Amino acid sequence: MSGVRLVIFGRQGAGKGTQCARLSERYGVPHVSTGDMLRAAAEAGTPFGLKAKEIMDAGDLVPDDVMFGLVEERLAQPDAAAGVLLDGFPRTDEQASVLDRILGEHPLMAAINLEVPEDIVIERMLARGREDDTEEAIRRRLDLYLAQTAPLLEHYDSRGLLVEVDGVGTEEEVAQRLVAAVEARRS
Ligand code: AMP
């Protein structure tokens, strides 16, 4: 049986972090979030991390050559030999092509889109009640996400790799749908 190699897409507030943690445990593969890696580098205060923080704070994308090095190195770690759940990468068509090259003989099994309608994630985020989370700011971030992600969803759809998973429901319900989606791809 082939290893579980997935890319996971989902809006902020869609529950991706929680669900990735569950999938990671179930399948024994690491959850690799490029955003988390960059934030950890920023917190560590390395020159690289500080530069990355500047870029993230400006709302820009970290340059591709930097991202490629980061991801290639991470995927070469022993824990990723059996598979990986990639979150936040790829974000561009170019990154998607490079990912295929990095994965080589062990290609992606699927690209999962954890779909939660915009109105529901806005409600969830407003309920969390962070001061800077005005509805307008949230909508702006979600629009940006959609603009960035739509071409990638199309890219994976055209290759027959895209799997839409309904992200509305209890944590348990959504987890079961994700496992069913993964199992359907494995068999
Ligand atoms: P995220 O937590 O995935 O939203 O990522 C937070 C920030 O990290 C993004 O807004 C980007 O600045 C940067 N970042 C994360 N992943 C990538 C990527 N694949 N390519 C470029 N920049 C990225």
At 59 the pLDDT is 85
At 2 the pLDDT is 61
Tokens of 120: 């529901």
**Is any atom of ligand 1 closer than 6 Å to the C-beta of 31?**
no
Q: How far apart are CA 145 and CA 10, in angstroms?
A: 9
Q: The whole model's pTM is what?
A: 0.93
- Catalytic, out of 22, 39, 51, 141: 141
At 177 the pLDDT is 98
**Is any atom of ligand 1 closer than 6 Å to the C-beta of 55?**
yes
At 75 the pLDDT is 97
Alpha helices in the chain (DSSP H): 16-27, 34-44, 47-57, 64-75, 93-103, 118-128, 135-158, 171-186
Q: Is 130 a catalytic residue?
A: yes
**Tens of each residue's pLDDT in the chain, 187 residues:** 468 999 999 998 899 999 999 999 999 999 999 999 999 999 999 999 999 999 999 988 999 999 999 999 999 999 999 999 999 999 999 999 999 999 999 999 999 999 999 999 999 888 887 777 789 988 988 998 999 999 999 999 999 999 999 999 999 999 999 999 999 998 7
Q: Is 141 a catalytic residue?
A: yes
In ligand 1, the atom with minimum distance to the C-alpha of 34 is 16
